[in-house]
Structure 1
Amino acid sequence: MKKIVFLFTGLMIVLGAAAKPKATATTGVSEPAVDRRVELMTIVARLAGYPEYQSKFTPAYTDSLDAWFAPYKEHPAVEYMRMMRERTGLSYNAVPIMGVYLTDPPHLCPRLPLTEMQPESRWGVKYGTKFIKLLNKFYKEARCGEFFARQDSLFTQVEKAFGDVFAEIDMGWFARFFGKEAQGGMVPVVGMGFGGGNYGGDIVYPDSTVDRYAFMGSWGMRDGKPYFDPEMFRNTIVHEFCHSFVNPALEGDAELARPAERLFSAYAEPMRAQAYGDGKTVLNETFVRAAVIRYLMEQADTAAVDKEMWMQIGRRFIWMPEAVELLGEYEADREKYPDFRSFTPRIAEFCNETAAQIDTIRARRAAEKERMKANALHVIAIEPFGNGAQDVDPKLTEITIRFDKPLVGRGYAFNAGPGGEATLFKFDVKNYSKDKTALTLAVELEPNHEYELVVLHGLSFVTPEGIHMLEDYLVKFRTRAE
């Protein structure tokens, strides 16, 4: 398997000092890999109690991790990350990007000088320098190298599973669609502890080339082997790499700033609820997501396109059909629009028009959804108890989710509920029923505990005809005391 190799000359092993900067970014696209530097960062974040890194989806890994590192929950590196979450808001994508900014263990130091913006603004020079010193101490004292060596076989299985699907993605589409090659590297990293999280991040080199990282989660285990939803993986990797083209084009056009803020202001609360807090972010996300749908229109079937479209509408991008249609105008006239940057004046018009018509668009989506509800896929039962039960037997070992229509029966997609990872029970997927109308989970429950699990709509649960759920379904119950 192709690996990314960083070459260093005169490497300084002074903690907190930068190695001699690599001159330029990786060339082209790398294959998905488990990066031990990223795993190290997510382990410390998990010990520090970061909710987004408490996944139980991969017990073959996380159970081993929790047992190995239990004595180090109060380690200075862990305490420092707790402090940084409170003081700087350190979270989510800021965790793995620090990992790839460092040299390989056992001697961890920055590959480039720390700045107030690199590897990420929530680190900064002062905090980043101090943390790297503590991280080296943690790596040695917690015997991280030994732990990772014991995971080599699992990591190899995971890389192969992701690599097989990655090979089916048409990576040449990006240059064809956006009108240019990516300037720098496109690097997918599989995060063993990410659960359902997926993140992006950039490293900018002295020559202005960029490595753009897609940190991939969304997977679990089946029969002790890695399993993930191939469709979700494809869409997510395309999404993250679309950022490599969309963000520079949109952020490089100053004329888009005011129209983007108009679009954001027209639908600010639903966007803020998803941590999209300004026009620039909403604009980038809109056209990245629309580009993914254009990719599917070329590469996949109508059912996959419809699923992705309604998933994005469900995520409150209610103008997604209009944005996709706009990109169709771009694709249809490449003589006038040779690359994506040349299309930004039309995007500015789109923002202004959409903001002015937001009530009409909202009503249009509501009417479309009502027409679809009758024929949509629904969860009709949670067995052997009813959803919402308050006296579930904690010795129960299986839970079955029953649907009102037969499914394709190849994948699944779940997430933690409103209570977060604390209410997510340990589970493994056993099998679909013979008629494909039910999915059975092997579960581990504790007495007197509140549990939640979200059955995600618009992803893996779909019929052979392409009919899917229009809304997430929350499974919620409480076990009785023994």
Structure 2
Amino acid sequence: MRQAADAIYPHVAEQMACNAYGSAEVMIGEWFNNLCTLLSLWEPDTKEMEEQSDNLVRRGFLWMPRSIACMKEFYARRDRYPRIEDFMPQLIAFLDHTAEHFEEVLLEYEKSLPRIVSVFPAVGSDISGCTEIVITFSETMNGSYGFSGTGSDDPNVHPLFLIDDFEKAVVWSPDRRQATLKLDPSKARKNTTYGIQLHTRGFQSARHYSLNDAGKNLLFHTGR
């Protein structure tokens, strides 16, 4: 497993370091312990297993869903693999293959992140007189939000003129697929560029995956 662990670790080192897993060896040991714990939840509480798996993916174990699929074969074929030791050659081969094709794991993870699919008024358009901006997401969100500056290094870009009450500045639709940013047009100046950056960890899906970076910076302008 050591060679596979060494190949995987650079891809997830930053996330692992946040959880005090400072080496490939520690990472792979925690992966195996967590995998066995997850499988103990499989039959009594499948939903809990899935939620815990999502949590581990967010912590950097991006290949955990694939690992669970592999280990389910162990449980399904106990006549052939009565002990975990008997199944280890299969698990090692699985890990070697995963490490060799880790770019596929990264793509799977990228696809699991929620995305912005629509903004109205459109990004780049004139929002003179507008009282709200509606953002539509690719999936159900958890209802949290946060912002981080204007989304631009240009000093001529001003912060978007949200209403002063931050707790009421974002209103979620009942299905939490849309977030409406409430604006105060009385704050707007003519012929000015405004921007806002959605904080990716502030906007999370119902599965608690952070917003994809693509499209997080929203720029608009006002007319003369």
TM-score normalised by the chain length of structure 2:
0.52
Aligned partner of 2:36 in structure 1 is 291
Equivalent residues in 2 for 1:164-179, closer than 5 Å: none
Write the letter of the residue equivalent to 2:78. Answer: R
Quick one: structure 1 residues 325 and 402, their matched pair in 2 at CA, closer, same or farther if it must change by over 3 Å? same
Residue 386 in structure 1 maps to residue 166 in structure 2 = yes
Does the CA contact (< 8 Å) of 2:57 and 2:64 recur in 1?
A: yes
Question: Which of 376, 383, 398 in structure 1 is aligned with 2:140?
Answer: 376
Cα deviation for residue 337 of structure 1 reads 1.9
Quick one: structure 1 residues 369 and 279, their matched pair in 2 at CA, closer, same or farther if it must change by over 3 Å? same
Aligned partner of 1:89 in structure 2 is none
Write the letter of the residue equivalent to 1:322. Answer: R
| Long gaps (5+) in structure 2 | 117-136, 147-163, 177-200, 212-224
Does the CA contact (< 8 Å) of 2:141 and 2:203 recur in 1?
A: no
Deviations 1:311-340 (A, max 9, x none): 222112111111111111111111222222
Cα deviation for residue 455 of structure 1 reads 8.2
Aligned partner of 1:355 in structure 2 is 99
Does the CA contact (< 8 Å) of 2:62 and 2:105 recur in 1?
A: yes
Cα deviation for residue 457 of structure 1 reads 6.9
Does the CA contact (< 8 Å) of 1:263 and 1:352 recur in 2?
A: no
TM-score normalised by the chain length of structure 1:
0.27
Question: Which of 305, 308, 314 in structure 1 is aligned with 2:58?
Answer: 314
Following superposition, which runs of at least 4 residues in structure 1 exceed 6 angstroms of deviation?
454-458
Aligned partner of 1:259 in structure 2 is 4
Task: Measure the CA separation in 2 of the matches of 1:290 and 1:323.
Answer: 7
Task: Measure the CA separation in 1 of the matches of 2:35 and 2:19.
Answer: 18
Quick one: structure 1 residues 371 and 330, their matched pair in 2 at CA, closer, same or farther if it must change by over 3 Å? farther
Write the letter of the residue equivalent to 1:308. Answer: Q
Using CA pairs under 8 Å that are at least 6 residues apart, name the structure with larger relative contact order, 1 or 2.
2
Task: Measure the CA separation in 2 of the matches of 1:456 and 1:342.
Answer: 44
Question: Which of 207, 210, 214 in structure 2 is aligned with 1:471?
Answer: 210
Task: Measure the CA separation in 2 of the matches of 1:299 and 1:456.
Answer: 32
Deviations 1:365-408 (A, max 9, x none): 212334795322332569x9416x9xxxxxxxxxxx9865589x
Deviations 1:113-163 (A, max 9, x none): xxxxxxxxxxxxxxxxxxxxxxxxxxxxxxxxxxxxxxxxxxxxxxxxxxx
Alignment size in residue pairs:
149
Write the letter of the residue equivalent to 2:8. Answer: L
RMSD (Å), alpha carbons: 3.7
Does the CA contact (< 8 Å) of 1:380 and 1:404 recur in 2?
A: no
Task: Measure the CA separation in 1 of the matches of 2:171 and 2:43.
Answer: 33
Quick one: structure 1 residues 355 and 381, their matched pair in 2 at CA, closer, same or farther if it must change by over 3 Å? closer
Q: Secondary structure at the residue paired with 1:276?
A: coil
Q: Secondary structure at the residue paired with 1:379?
A: coil
